[in-house]
Amino acid sequence: MNHLESLKQHSTVVADTGDIESIARLKPQDATTNPSLLLKSAQDARYRPLVDGALAQARAAGEDAAGAIDRLFVAFGCEILKHVPGRVSTEVDPRLSFDSEATIARAQRLIALYEKAGIARDRVLIKIATTWEGVRAAERLEREGIHCNLTLLFGMAQAVACADAGVTLISPFVGRIYDWYCAQQKVADIPLEQDPGVASVSRIYSYYKQFGYRTEVMGASFRKVGQVEALAGCDLLTIAPDLLDQMAAQPGAIERRLVAGQAAPMERIALDEKAYRWLHNEDAMAVEKLSDGIRRFDVDARKLDRFVAGLFA
């Protein structure tokens, strides 16, 4: 028994990478991708056949470079699904984060491409940034049987809105919350027992379980193994390959930390759009990190645009 094997007894382990060889080696249940991870993998010579195949499909369909990018995301997703028994998360363009209708249209296109490739929609999660517009788009997509993973989630307002909308899964970002508080406190580290990222996910998990929400909680964006292990018992945990390797190299078992019903009771939060926007606005960290996350993904999405456009030309 090692720490990774032990963790798998408490939580579903998800690989946070676009590196297919790492996924095949680590054997997680699911995998998640985003524009930054796909950019890195698309530029890797090992995966050039996938890139070339997506470009060829786009040309044959009379599409432009933008169409090729959708096909590239699906090509990587299909390849990843050969190595995981569960689901892959594929992200909608971050530039659509404040446009519900465009988000829905892009999600529908991605699912159509997956289904054309023989992948059932139950094996795909569409990743959408947790803006108010993103939550509304996800609510409608879920009614169509298109399952969603709401990402860039940093605060309770976002978490409650997602659960009320009936989304399949949320990805609260542990590491980026930790980073923000380290910067605010001007410290290099925060002890695990005081880690605000760990505390945020623990609170969301307890809230969901107390009120019987079906939405799954998947802790994401980890900076160190201790943060992962402090959330053992969370529904899912998406972890980068280097941290998965560190856990696999550590012998012994770890304890389950999150257990439904053990936290102190909380009051239910009622949200309409105005209440959501006010509660989210009250959390300076969540406001800043959501905006920052969208901008960061946008930078890499534009780099991917240029990379694919250069090949497509």
pLDDT in tens, the chain (313 residues): 999 999 999 999 999 998 999 999 999 999 998 888 888 999 999 999 999 999 999 999 999 989 999 999 999 999 999 999 999 999 999 999 999 999 999 999 999 999 999 999 999 999 999 999 999 999 999 999 999 999 999 999 999 999 999 999 999 999 999 999 999 999 999 999 999 999 999 999 999 999 999 999 999 999 999 999 999 999 999 999 999 999 999 999 999 999 998 888 999 999 999 999 999 999 999 999 999 999 999 999 999 999 999 988 8
Give the whole-angstrom CA distance, residue 165 versus residue 204. Answer: 15
**Which pLDDT score is estimated for 37?**
86
Specify the DSSP element, H or E, that contains 295.
Answer: helix 284-312
**Which pLDDT score is estimated for 263?**
86
Please state the domain extents for the chain: 3-312
Give the whole-angstrom CA distance, residue 12 versus residue 161. Answer: 24
CA 75 to chain centre: 18
Q: Please give the structure tokens belonging to residue 288.
A: 């800043």
Angle between helices 65-81 and 100-116 (to 10 degrees): 60
CA 92 to chain centre: 11
Give the whole-angstrom CA distance, residue 242 versus residue 144. Answer: 37
**Which pLDDT score is estimated for 18?**
87
**Which pLDDT score is estimated for 36?**
87
Give the whole-angstrom CA distance, residue 293 versus residue 289. Answer: 6
Closest CA to 204 of 159, 234, 167: 159
233-265 per-residue burial string, b: 16 or more CB within 10 A, e: under 16: bbbbbbbbbebbebbeeeeeebeebbeeeeeee
**Which pLDDT score is estimated for 232?**
98
Q: Please give the structure tokens belonging to residue 138.
A: 């996800």
Specify the DSSP element, H or E, that contains 17.
Answer: none
Angle between helices 273-282 and 284-312 (to 10 degrees): 100
Specify the DSSP element, H or E, that contains 153.
Answer: strand 148-153
Catalytically active residues, by annotation: 127
Q: Please give the structure tokens belonging to residue 107.
A: 């999600």
User: Quick check: 25 and 43 in contact, CB under 8 A?
Assistant: no
| DSSP summary character for residue 91 | E
Give the whole-angstrom CA distance, residue 130 versus residue 83. Answer: 28
Give the whole-angstrom CA distance, residue 113 versus residue 127. Answer: 16
Give the whole-angstrom CA distance, residue 237 versus residue 11. Answer: 7
**Which pLDDT score is estimated for 44?**
92
What sign does the dihedral 9-31-150-169 (CA atoms) show? negative
Fold of 3-312: TIM Barrel (3.20.20)
Closest CA to 176 of 34, 80, 276: 34
The 3-state DSSP class for residue 129 equals: strand
27 half-sphere exposure, CB direction, 13 A CA radius: 4
Whole-prediction pTM value?
0.94
**Which pLDDT score is estimated for 215?**
98
